[in-house]
Amino acid sequence: MGKGFFLSKPLGVGCMILGAGAVATIIALSVVYSQEKAKNDNQVLPTDGGTTTKPPSNEPWDKYRLPKSLLPQQYNVTLWPRLLPDPTGLYIFTGETTVEFKCVEDTDLILIHSNKLNYTDSASLTSVDSGVKAPSIKSSFLQSETQYLVLQLDGKLVKDHMYQLYTKFTGELADDLGGFYRSEYYEDGVKKKAFPCFDEPAMKAVFHITLIHDIGTVALSNGEQKETSSVVIESQNVQKTAFGPTEKMSTYLLAFIVSDFAQINNTIDDVLIRIFARKPAIDAGQGQYALNKTGPILKFFEGYYSSKYPLPKSDQIALPDFNAGAMENWGLITYRETALLYDESFSSNSNKERIATIIAHELAHMWFGNLVTLRWWNDLWLNEGFASYVEYLGADNAEPDWNIKDLIVLNDVHRVFAVDALASSHPLSSKEEDIQRPAQISELFDAISYSKGASVLRMLSDFLTEGVFTQGLTSYLNTFAFGNAVYTDLWEHLQMAVDNNTATQLPDSVNDIMNTWVLQMGFPVVTIDTQTGGISQKHFLLDPDSTVTVESPFNYEWIVPIKWMKNGVIYPTIQWLKTKSDTVKEMKTSGPSDWVLANLNVLGYYRVNYDQGNWDRLLIALRDNHISIPGINRAQLLDDAFNLARAKIIPTVLALETTKYLTEERDYVPWKSALNNLDFFYLMFDRSEVYGPMQNYLMKQITPLFTYYKNMTSNWSTIPAGHMDQ
């Protein structure tokens, strides 16, 4: 599922600051910041009162997880959405489905998910196997809390035999953006609003879909369209479109759409690529950018995974109303219009960037998430974190001049640091038994799953090397294709790749290293003392007075990979910090101008602090020759310093000192990092005595950047060629 957010560019933000006025001296800013923060720290925040719940029932239909007694094999589903209201003013759909399932444990109970469906006939149960009679349905009822249709039988289903359950139903085509609805539909865990099904990700099956729809409309689903015929049903002339069987897949990836949309298409290596949208948007060429980039991104991922795209088509559709940025339905990806359509005359460069990255995110899921699917939602972070990482790789391949891979530091690493530095954060992976209710599942769709997941997987790919990482991925995908896995399965296949590549040396197993990042919340601040060569780690908390009440299996210590440089020279091997502290003699400096910089290109998921002397020498390096420090690390120094100051680890004046060199900075990433952090101060000092001096200082710092772009654009008459410049 796509993230969906816009990037503001530093030039635009900078021009607003420049037009607003001027700023303060660094010392005055530091003093007032301390005063204002003290006020905020003393505020008492309201707390929610606790709620009580009744003891859990032992009845199977009161439990949120399906029993393991039945496994679906295939569904035959026919749906007829009515696009005009009935006499009562409701928009409805009718449907019927036959689900074939295997009994793996003798049982006299069928639980199947059903939500807001009205059953028009009694359900019927038959046996597929000759010589085996299906028991009769003794009673049936709907359990609304757990969203089950409950069927109690007068005898037992027999292990290893196949059965079919037929139901006929109606439902409302509401406009609530959930289930089967007008304008488009659904998200995780709500397919049960369209037809009864075993709605868990591990309950994979093959789907045969038939849609009945008005003449002049187009029906779409995951499978290829096999046959469309004109028929008369209930005295109405309609069309009936049958789709070929899907691959074995999870219910949450199923999609079906009826619309009057137009489309454009092309074919690449026998894969049909189509973009659907409102006809005026297609006629205006707004789908062309997405069509042009989908093929190259698909080809990139085929190479990255060493696995051919597993479907014959890739449909993408832009919907006017959609409750997510996008959804990776297998072979029929749904998007908000702003996430797929690009208007050359009106859309911004940020729009184009967003479209490229979201398309890459969703196409990455075609393998990682769809071909191989999480067993349960507690491992959601692996699905979404992985796609959030490789979306930058796919978009970079489609737009190689953009340097878009650098933006993961701003969009994901720095973004999630702010959340994961709170005592209320949570680990990436939860225990399966702790994630049961739909509300608990929904809560997992957060910055931790997406952005921290992306950040730690990027770190993993780096210290393994990309070749070893992708070798392990390919093995994992081949082993679990059309099935389900847990995150430790990936660690095992990555470990096999490490064992086959002697060039990659690790201090521990992939499992042991990564569990320190996955099974405990937060991240460390690594402190380097260049006077002694000492390095240490500590759980970084933005509020140093907060109390962490959640115990960690690793005592809030991590196995930390440290890439570093001294005086601009990169050390070739990774320094691993496995304990709370260690000594690295090479990190000790001797000359008066020697400096050390750690976490090169912010590939590690941690912050870095230094002794005062090294901070001073880094500030001199920024002032005298800022390009001796990589651009991403210049952004890191700014972000680390400001957040270390907020956590009362370094003086605020030191954080503000890092902005003095900005008169020489022209790159987007450092400026964006600076503006993100200065915005906090901007809000903190509003209506204070230093607000005016602060504006003066910022105007002084940003004026050279303003002048640089004024000259580049011939006094704002031309558009810069570079993506980051725009």
Domains of the chain, by residue range, sit at 10-39+520-712
- CA dist., res. 564 & res. 570, Å (int): 6
pLDDT computed for residue 2 by the predictor:
60
State the pLDDT at residue 719.
81
Find the mean pLDDT for residues 480-500.
Answer: 98
Tell me the average pLDDT of the chain.
Answer: 90
Question: pLDDT confidence of 188, banded at 50, 70, 90?
Answer: very low
Q: What is the pLDDT of residues 85-135, one digit of tens each?
A: 888 888 889 999 999 999 999 999 999 999 989 999 889 999 999 889 999
pLDDT band at 435 (very low <50, low <70, confident <90, very high): very high
pLDDT digits (tens, 9 = 90+) for 279-289: 999 999 999 99
User: What is the reported pLDDT for 18?
Assistant: 34
Position with higher pLDDT, 396 vs 189: 396
Confidence label for 330 from pLDDT (cuts 50, 70 and 90): very high
What is the percent of the chain with per-residue pLDDT over 90, rounded to a whole number?
78
| Helices 631-646 and 612-625: angle between axes, nearest 10 degrees | 140
Give the sign of the dihedral formed by CA 226, CA 229, CA 232, CA 236. positive
Local confidence band at 180 (pLDDT 50, 70, 90 cut-offs): low
In the predicted structure, residue 510 carries a pLDDT above the cut 80: yes
Look at residue 717 in the predicted model and tell me its pLDDT.
77
On the question of pLDDT at 178 being above 80, the answer is no
pLDDT 10s digits, 550-586:
999 999 999 999 999 999 999 999 999 999 999 999 9
In sequence order, what are the beta bridge partners of 368? 372
626 is in an annotated binding site: no
pLDDT at 326: 92
Higher pLDDT, 110 or 43: 110
**Stretch 227-236: mean pLDDT:** 94
Question: What average pLDDT does the segment 475-503 reach?
Answer: 97
pLDDT computed for residue 583 by the predictor: 97
Q: What share of the chain is helix, strand, coil (3-state, %, to 5)?
A: 35, 25, 40
Distance CA 307, CA 478 (A): 8
Q: What is the pLDDT of residues 675-696, one digit of tens each?
A: 999 988 888 788 888 888 888 9
Per-residue pLDDT at 666 exceeds 50: yes
Select the CATH number that applies to the domain covering 10-39+520-712 from these four: 3.10.450.50, 2.60.40.1910, 3.40.50.1110, 3.10.20.440: 2.60.40.1910
Residues 507, 512, 517, 518, Cα dihedral to 10°: 160
Question: Which has the minimum average pLDDT: 193-197, 410-414, 420-424, 623-627?
Answer: 193-197
Q: What is the pLDDT of residues 141-152, one digit of tens each?
A: 999 999 999 999
Confidence grade of residue 507 (pLDDT, cut at 50, 70, 90): very high
The β-bridge partners of 257 are 220
Q: What is the pLDDT of residue 569?
A: 96
Helix (H, G, I), strand (E, B) or coil at 716: coil
Q: Are strands 262-268 and 256-259 parallel, antiparallel or unpaired?
A: unpaired
**609 Cβ contact partners less than 8 Å away, ≥ 6 residues apart:** 525, 526, 527, 528, 640, 644, 649, 650
Query: Is 99 in contact with 165 (CB distance < 8 Å)?
Result: yes
Section 705-721 average pLDDT: 83
Q: Residue 12 pLDDT more than 60?
A: no
User: 414 a known binding residue?
Assistant: no
- In the chain, % of residues over pLDDT 70: 89
Residue range 346-373: mean pLDDT, rounded: 96
Matching residue, tokens 């037009």: 19
Least confident stretch, 272-281, 342-351, 539-548 = 342-351
Mean pLDDT of 72-79: 98
The Cα–Cα gap between 351 and 343 comes to 9
Q: What pTM value is reported for the model? A: 0.90
- State yes or no: pLDDT of 184 exceeds 80: no
Cβ(180)–Cβ(173) below 8 Å: yes
pLDDT in tens, 313-324: 999 999 987 777
Q: Is 384 marked within a binding site? A: yes
Question: Which residue numbers are catalytic?
Answer: 362
pLDDT of residue 8: 34
User: With contact defined as beta carbons under 8 Å apart, do 583 and 532 qualify?
Assistant: yes
Q: What pLDDT, on a 0 to 100 scale, did the predictor assign at position 182?
A: 54
**pLDDT for residue 14 is more than 70:** no
Residue 42 above 90 pLDDT? no
Strand order from edge to edge, sheet including 607-610: 581-583, 534-539, 524-529, 607-610
The predicted-structure confidence for 596-655, as pLDDT tens digits, reads as follows: 999 999 999 999 999 999 999 999 999 999 999 999 999 999 999 999 999 999 999 999
Is residue 9 pLDDT above 80, yes or no?
no
**What mean pLDDT comes out for the span 249-272?**
95
Identify the DSSP state of 478: H
When pLDDT is averaged across residues 535-562 and rounded to a whole number, the result is 97
* Mean pLDDT value across residues 211-227: 96
- Amino acid 4: pLDDT: 39
DSSP state of 372: E
When pLDDT is averaged across residues 226-231 and rounded to a whole number, the result is 95
Closest CA to 657 of 692, 591, 701: 701
Across 197-233, b (16+ Cβ under 10 Å) vs e yields bbbbbbbbbbbbbbbbbbeebbbbbbbeeeeeeeeee
Question: What pLDDT is recorded for position 603?
Answer: 98
